[in-house]
Amino acid sequence: MSEHFWFTVLGPVRAQRGSTEIELGSRQQRAVLAVLLLRENGHASLSELIEAVWGTAPPRTAGQTIRTYIHRLRKSLGPAHDAGTSFIVSAGNGYALRVSPDQLDLSVFRQRVAMAEGAVGTGHHARAIAHLRDALDLWRGEPLAGIPGTYAMSQRNRLEALRLVAVERRINVEYELGRFGEATAELFDLVAKHPLNERFREMLMFSLCKTGRKAEALAVYREVWDLLSEDLGAEPGPRLQVLHERVRRADPELLVSDIFPDPEVGPAVPESPAGTTLGVSPPRAPSPPPADLPTLDGRDNELDLIEALLAVDAQGVATVAIGVIVVMARAGRTTRAEDWADRIAHRFPDGHIYLDLRGCDSSSPAMTPMEASGSILRSLGVASSLLPSGVEGRTALYRTLLSGRRILLVLDNARDAEQIRPLLTGTPSSLVVVTS
């Protein structure tokens, strides 16, 4: 039987063969391995690897250097199976690292979170807590520790967002079992590490209130009020303000459902290859574009203008842009936009999302930013039960998950700027196309 391999990204980037640590070389060489591991068996192009290691100013020899790193990693890792095949395989104009779900800590994390969701669904809350604790035990400090560059930083933020969602979910399940006191110490620590995170403040105030520590709960609110007013000139959000008032009045009807409301029911999304319901998988369209609209000629000028917005460098990498197509209803806008999106989708290897915002459809109400952001997050693989309860939280999670990834987002039938503003990706590697 071959030795078990174990790769980690939820901490320092490491590889082990059995109990033996594998030498991975320089920080830049480990950065290449990190990119391949984060793809979870997906393909990374040569230009993507170059950008991840050197950013926007690579040396002229970057391509050859990446090939050298790949050669050295193949030699260090050795064969993946008894048959002698390499972990790293050539794929198109780049490479992929083939690992099974039980060989990568991130994939195992996803599996355990999915097992927890299954346990909650069958009423086994204690089992769900155990699965979530096992998932969180896989973290060994800062993700991608020791890997330099903006790519690593963006991925570090994405992974940390996944961890915090799992922590919030575990506390939610503990609340369902009436374990309010157990979460309090942890929430104090989370608030100290994330002082402007109103969600953790809300959960801490609730825990303190339910354990008879009303004065401390009110002090938590006063502290965040002072922080926000001094640092940002802002006030706490409406949810926190309402909770503060209910705590102040010692509201006897304050329930877990007030802190963790039932998630809205949304369309099911396919599981990612790793079988997870949490995290980013290749996006699937939340709904297909209408099939009955005519494809009219005469819109090429608009589409050419949008394509011109794609600033493409020597490696074919597109930078962020927002394109808007505005034409009369039923004039082929949707079909033309989808045709064009299909034509350039290859530039966005992390996925293509289509969303009908219903802003121009009098037969049904326009989709709210809350609904739209929830639909996008579900299409990215976030379980409905893990969706943040407010549009601001959903937007923050959505942008964090897309950080460093290349996504093509088509927002069809937009009503106005207010409807689409929370849906903009905020990442310099994606394209948003809006039709109206």
Q: What is the pLDDT, as a whole number, of residue 296?
A: 35
344: tokens are 């350039």
Burial classification of residue 11, based on how many CB atoms lie within 10 Å of its CB (0-12 exposed, 13-18 middle, 19 or more buried):
middle
pTM recorded for the entire structure: 0.63
153: tokens are 């930083």
Q: What is the pLDDT, as a whole number, of residue 383?
A: 64
- 187-237: pLDDT as tens digits: 999 999 888 888 899 999 999 998 899 999 999 999 999 988 887 788 888
- Select the more confidently predicted residue: 348 or 178: 178
At 287, the pLDDT band (50, 70, 90 cuts) reads very low
Q: Which of 26-35, 42-51, 180-189, 299-308 has the lowest mean pLDDT?
A: 299-308
CA 275 to CA 26: how far, in whole Å? 33
pLDDT, the chain, mean: 78
On whether the CB atoms of residues 134 and 112 are closer than 8 A, the answer is yes
Is the confidence at residue 140, as pLDDT, over 60? yes
Distances (CA, A) of 111 to 105, 293, 322: 10, 41, 35
Q: What is the pLDDT, as a whole number, of residue 339?
A: 62
Q: What residues form DSSP beta bridges with 16?
A: 6, 21
Is the confidence at residue 401, as pLDDT, over 90? no
- 89-125: pLDDT as tens digits: 988 889 999 888 899 999 999 999 989 988 988 999 9
Q: What is the pLDDT, as a whole number, of residue 82?
A: 53
Q: What is the mean pLDDT of residues 271-299?
A: 38
Dihedral sign of CA atoms 163, 166, 170, 172 in order: positive
Q: What is the mean pLDDT of residues 155-160?
A: 88
The rounded percent of the chain whose pLDDT value lies above 70 is 74
Q: What is the mean pLDDT of residues 133-150?
A: 92
At 271, the pLDDT band (50, 70, 90 cuts) reads very low
Is the confidence at residue 174, as pLDDT, over 60? yes
Q: Which of 363-367, 397-401, 425-429 has the lowest mean pLDDT?
A: 425-429
Got the DSSP string for 298-338?
S-HHHHHHHHHT--B-TT--B--EEEEE---TTSSHHHHHH
Q: What is the mean pLDDT of residues 128-150?
A: 93
The rounded percent of the chain whose pLDDT value lies above 90 is 31
Is the confidence at residue 336, as pLDDT, over 60? no
Q: What is the pLDDT, as a whole number, of residue 236?
A: 85
Pairing mode of beta strands 408-412, 431-435: parallel
Is the confidence at residue 15, as pLDDT, over 60? yes
Q: What is the pLDDT, as a whole number, of residue 346?
A: 65
